Amino acid sequence: MAHGAAVSTVAGLSARVLRLPLRRPWGPDVPRVHVIEVVLTTSDGADGRGFSWTPTIGAGAVHALLTQDIAEWLVGRPAEPEVVWDGLWRHLHEAGSGGVTTIALAGVDLALWDLRGRRAGLGLTDLLGRRHDSAEVYGSGVNLHYSLDELVAQAERWVDTGHGAVKMKVGRPSLDEDVERVAAVREVLGPRRRLMVDANQRWDLPTARRAIAALAPYDLYWVEEPLLADATWAYAELRRATGVPIALGENAHTIHRFRDLLDAGACDVVQPNVVRVGGITPFLRIVALARSYGVSVAPHLLPELSGQLALTLPEPTIVEDVEDASFAALGCLAEPSGVVIADARLTAATAPGLGLRFA
């Protein structure tokens, strides 16, 4: 910016809630997910578009936080994501350091990154610096409620579409059921494809020890969220007791929480969700933190955004694609994003900014 040039500031914020029915419900209590679209306008007449996201809880609260407390604080501030993020996080801290606050903050941060990319005429990947032409995608299923036949059919679809890595849910009432289901999926995948399992915080420490011991013969690439996400000590104990890598982080909302997990030696893989941590600005900081510990990163969900970020990270990063749950699959985009998944690889050639416009 030239010396003395006027600084573009935020002039206004609007938001709307989109309720998106899932083509394959994630369970009887999760028939839909929620996107809260955020539009920022600036003092020089530009606009940036971002979003917040939550499957079941808090969409109304996020919308209220955005249109009331955040909008009032934001107007008149410089329209730069890094400048806004730290001040806004401190402003919201009274309501909680993470959770609803960071989910709402993400909508603002993403809109400001969209604005920056559009001003530069660059898609997000090229704005941040493209390091990879494509990223591997793994097939992910929210399938604990599936019958065994439905689960096997899903695994067969992933094999047919060329996936070399697959993730399934575990945590049925009986460990014998989990063993049967994991064995059936491993049979479909064969010995060479990677198999991850996700317990979604369903076990306590003794149960997790027993379950992982029973499932380990099926060559697990990682076990995800075996314990309550807040149970730092138990995660460290479990990791010391098992040879199966531990993955967690989708329910960690701040860099401080990730630091605590990494300091404790709680995991082998961190999985920040770019919305839940508050947007691209903190996501990049969390990646840098994990790299300093030698811990790998696997972004959680949202492939149209996480995939763009994966192409900018120093090491190759695997991207999660839940079957029929991408924005494209849900039919909520006004135009194609430019993020394409084919043959289990993701590529990104987006319009300037995030490339995401909701219908």
Closest CA to 313 of 299, 327, 293: 299
Residue for token pair 């919308």: 63
Helices within the chain (DSSP H only): 59-65, 71-74, 81-92, 100-120, 124-128, 148-160, 175-189, 205-215, 232-241, 255-263, 280-293, 303-310, 327-330
d(CA 72, CA 195): 47
Closest CA to 66 of 29, 135, 2, 14: 14
Active site residues: 169, 300
Sign of the alpha-carbon dihedral angle for 225, 228, 233, 237 = negative
**Cβ atoms of residues 77 and 9 within 8 Å:** yes
Closest CA to 109 of 251, 239, 282: 282
**Cβ atoms of residues 269 and 223 within 8 Å:** no
d(CA 40, CA 77): 12
d(CA 346, CA 125): 12
DSSP helix/strand/coil, 342: strand
What is the phi/psi pair of residue 298, to 5°? -135, 100
Could you tell me if residue 8 is left (phi over 0), alpha (psi between -120 and 50 degrees) or otherwise beta? beta
Q: Max alpha carbon distance in the chain (Å)?
A: 70
Q: Which two tokens stand for residue 299?
A: 């972004």
